[in-house]
Amino acid sequence: MNAMETTPPRGTDPHAFGRVAVLMGGSSSEREVSLDSGRNVLDALRARGVDAHPVDGIPALLDALVHGQFDRVFNILHGNKGGGEDGVLQGLLQGFEVPYTGSGVLGSALTMDKIRTKQVWIAAGLPTPKFLRLAPGADLRAAALELGLPVFVKPSCEGSSVGVARVETAADIDAAIAVARAYGGEMLMEQMVVGDELTVGILGERALPSIRIVPKGGWYDYNAKYVAEDTQYLCPGLEGDDEAAICALALAAFLAAGCSGWGRVDVMRERSSGKLLLLEVNTAPGMTSHSLVPKAARQLGIGFEDLCWAILEQTL
């Protein structure tokens, strides 16, 4: 579908959803963001008459499902290790035959691992920045010199810019090593792309208008995402053929990674060449006041309540 096409809701009866669990919080490193997102989604669904209830984390949901308390789940957990984006929750819900929002087991598990997502994209002929996979204890200094500075070093399986180290000079490597030691798992070292940071929301089988992110501090870190009020969001982020190209690329990347329902694809546009390069997929994007999927949806005239309804409607 074209990025500017919109699809009206299939139904208007909130009772069709039954009793809905809005799954939020959890025990991942993104707990606080998830709680914020969850409260917003809960308020939006209730405003439309949906019988929605907050549930904090997977163990609480499991207890509720054993007792048959919910008919479907709006998943707004973020991250892994107690978050709901790594395929564990999705497998649990499929075992209980309970419909849920967002991607299934494959898309969720794959895209939580940035390295293996990139490997799938490369196999599919989709563009992504050069990178190295770093096993625990790897020599980051040697890897940075091999890949060529500047680079980003980040945990392969975290989101929301958690644990990201930027290495522009050899003097920055020690800080990146400290980050790697703190996380302990596989690390992704990715060549830094100088250019514009963009993101494309996906809703169903269409791409929403792109957003170009202009953080005052120079790069889009955790503070710029969730705290700062001076980050600029330009929507649509590109124009004409360039906008069509980024929307097509984002949708292709989303589908290649086995994703479905809704999500967000992050892309860099190299300033020197104009080339688009895929960074990662988020299968349960934030729904806070700073979040990007609601901003893109508004560009098409889809308000927050309608967006939440449209996402939940995909479970029918």
- Predicted pLDDT at 171: 86
Mean pLDDT of the chain: 90
- Sequential DSSP letters for 257-297: TT--SEEEEEEEEETTT--EEEEEEESS---STT-HHHHHH
Per-residue pLDDT, averaged over 127-148, amounts to 91
- Predicted pLDDT at 4: 37
Would you place residue 231 in the very low, low, confident or very high pLDDT band (cuts 50, 70, 90)? confident
Would you place residue 249 in the very low, low, confident or very high pLDDT band (cuts 50, 70, 90)? very high
206, containing H or E segment: strand 206-207
Q: What is the pLDDT of residues 47-105, one digit of tens each?
A: 999 999 999 999 999 999 999 999 999 999 998 877 788 999 999 999 999 999 999 99
Per-residue pLDDT, averaged over 275-292, amounts to 93
Given a contact cutoff of 8 angstroms between Cβ atoms, the answer to whether 288 and 33 are in contact is yes
Give the single-character DSSP code of 96: H
Place of tokens 């963001």: 33
Give the single-character DSSP code of 25: -
Query: What is the model's pTM?
Result: 0.89
- Predicted pLDDT at 5: 40
Category of 137 on φ-ψ map: left (φ > 0), alpha (ψ -120 to 50) or beta: left
The residues carrying an active-site annotation are 30, 160, 226, 264, 266, 280, 282, 286
Q: Of 19 and 188, which is predicted with more confidence?
A: 19
Given a contact cutoff of 8 angstroms between Cβ atoms, the answer to whether 102 and 263 are in contact is yes
Q: Of 132 and 289, which is predicted with more confidence?
A: 132
Long-range (24+ apart) CB contacts under 8 A made by 139-145 are 140/173, 140/176, 140/177, 140/180, 140/187, 140/189, 141/170, 141/173, 141/177, 143/189, 144/170, 144/173, 144/176, 144/189
For residue 62, give the amino acid letter: L
Per-residue pLDDT, averaged over 20-36, amounts to 93
Would you place residue 7 in the very low, low, confident or very high pLDDT band (cuts 50, 70, 90)? very low
Domains and CATH numbers, the chain: 14-101 (3.40.50.20), 111-127+194-302 (3.30.470.20), 131-191 (3.30.1490.20)
Q: What would the two tokens of residue 7 be?
A: 């699809």
C-alpha distances (whole Å) from 174 to each of 166, 178, 202, 241, 266 are 11, 6, 38, 42, 27
> Over 90: is that where the pLDDT of 6 sits?
no
> Over 80: is that where the pLDDT of 293 sits?
yes
Residue 164 CA, distance from chain mean position: 16
> Over 60: is that where the pLDDT of 160 sits?
no
β partners of residue 290:
none
Q: What would the two tokens of residue 155 be?
A: 């945990």
Go through the chain and tell me how many residues it has: 316
- In the chain, DSSP finds a helix count (H) and a strand count (E) of 11, 13
Q: Of 93 and 175, which is predicted with more confidence?
A: 93
Would you place residue 8 in the very low, low, confident or very high pLDDT band (cuts 50, 70, 90)? very low
Q: What is the pLDDT of residues 181-219, one digit of tens each?
A: 777 778 899 999 999 999 999 999 999 999 999 987 655
